[in-house]
């Protein structure tokens, strides 16, 4: 029997953390290309948001593992709505004529540089997040039932492999296909995919601790045996 969301102590905090990480990784880190020098490999260029966006998948795993697919579905829609609002707000704010003084004229240039993403990038980011997150949650839920709750590490990594593959492929395909050379596009997709998935693997011990803490405190360990996996159904 499903428990009302209000009976959980930490569900709303996990939701808030998920949406915060999602917004910050898309708004703060997305515009910066960072570079690191790795032994034997040399210089590697990557989007700065890659360091933090995969954390949203960690929260997705935690939500599905503890509270079930239905409650994670609501969180995904909350994040989707937040991204839509942020995109609309960015368009409106940037379209407003700045005050006629040197500071605001210069400030408008910086705002355009940071938040003035092309419609394709915005669309790609939103669609990729929505599809990738639901794939991640669906695979996580199905694997939990199939494995009868065992091998959490395998479920965490397996769901991320599927979700991040969809996310990376859709985002770069929608945002940059026909703009970047096909070879360059493929290289970037592969690099970002392995960076994101690798980050999830590294964070697996932290995910274990978070899952154990929430299961103990919430007295919940949900199995999606009779769940309606329709992504458009908000009822738990």
CB 11 within 8 A of CB 71: yes
Interval 125-140: pLDDT, tens: 899 999 999 999 999 9
The answer to the question of residue 226 being in a domain is no
What dihedral angle (degrees, nearest 10) is formed by the CA atoms of 85, 87, 88, 93?
Answer: 120
CATH number at residue 60: 1.10.1760
Interval 156-208: pLDDT, tens: 999 999 999 999 899 888 888 887 788 878 887 888 888 888 888 899 999 99
Pick 33 or 225 by higher pLDDT: 225
The answer to the question of residue 228 being in a domain is no
Q: Is 99 left (phi over 0), alpha (psi -120 to 50) or beta?
A: beta
The answer to the question of residue 231 being in a domain is no
| Sequence-ordered alpha helix ranges (H) in 38-101 | 53-67, 69-95
The values of phi and psi at residue 201, to 5°, are -65, -45
The answer to the question of residue 156 being in a domain is yes
pLDDT computed for residue 29 by the predictor = 64
The answer to the question of residue 143 being in a domain is yes
The answer to the question of residue 148 being in a domain is yes
Domain of residue 36: give its range: 5-218
Whether the model clears a pTM of 0.85, i.e. scores above it, the answer is yes
| Average pLDDT, rounded, for the chain | 88
The answer to the question of residue 232 being in a domain is no
- Buried-state track 154-163, b at ≥16 Cβ within 10 A, e below 16: ebbbbbbbbb
Q: Is 149 left (phi over 0), alpha (psi -120 to 50) or beta?
A: left
Instruction: Please determine, for residue 43, whether its predicted confidence score (pLDDT) is greater than 80.
Output: no
Instruction: Please determine, for residue 33, whether its predicted confidence score (pLDDT) is greater than 70.
Output: no
Across residues 30-54, what is the average pLDDT? Answer: 72
The answer to the question of residue 236 being in a domain is no
Domains in the chain: how many in total?
1
CB contact set of 36 (below 8 Å; sequence gap of 6+):
43, 44, 46
Residue 100 DSSP class: S
């Amino acid at each position: 029997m499903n428990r009302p969301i209000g009976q959980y102590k930490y569900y709303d905090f996990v939701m808030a953390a998920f949406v915060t990480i999602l917004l910050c990784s898309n708004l703060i880190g997305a515009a910066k290309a960072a570079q690191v020098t790795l032994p034997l490999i040399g210089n590697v260029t990557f989007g700065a948001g890659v360091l933090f966006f995969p954390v949203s998948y960690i929260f997705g795993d935690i939500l599905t593992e503890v509270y079930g697919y239905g409650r994670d579905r609501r969180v995904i829609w909350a994040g989707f709505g937040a991204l839509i609002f942020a995109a609309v707000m960015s368009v409106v704010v940037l379209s407003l004529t700045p005050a006629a003084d040197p500071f605001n004229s210069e400030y408008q240039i910086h705002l355009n540089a940071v938040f003035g993403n092309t419609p394709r990038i915005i669309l790609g980011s939103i669609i990729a997040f929505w599809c990738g997150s639901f794939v991640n949650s669906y695979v996580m839920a199905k694997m939990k039932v199939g494995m009868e709750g065992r091998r959490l590490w395998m479920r965490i990594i397996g769901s991320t492999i599927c979700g991040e593959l969809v996310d990376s492929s859709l985002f770069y395909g929608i945002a940059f296909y026909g703009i970047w050379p096909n070879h360059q596009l493929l290289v970037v997709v592969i690099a970002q995919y392995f960076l994101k998935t690798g980050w999830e693997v590294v964070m697996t011990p932290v995910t274990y601790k978070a899952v154990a803490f929430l299961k103990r405190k919430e007295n919940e360990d949900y199995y999606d045996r009779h769940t309606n996996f329709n992504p458009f159904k908000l009822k738990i």
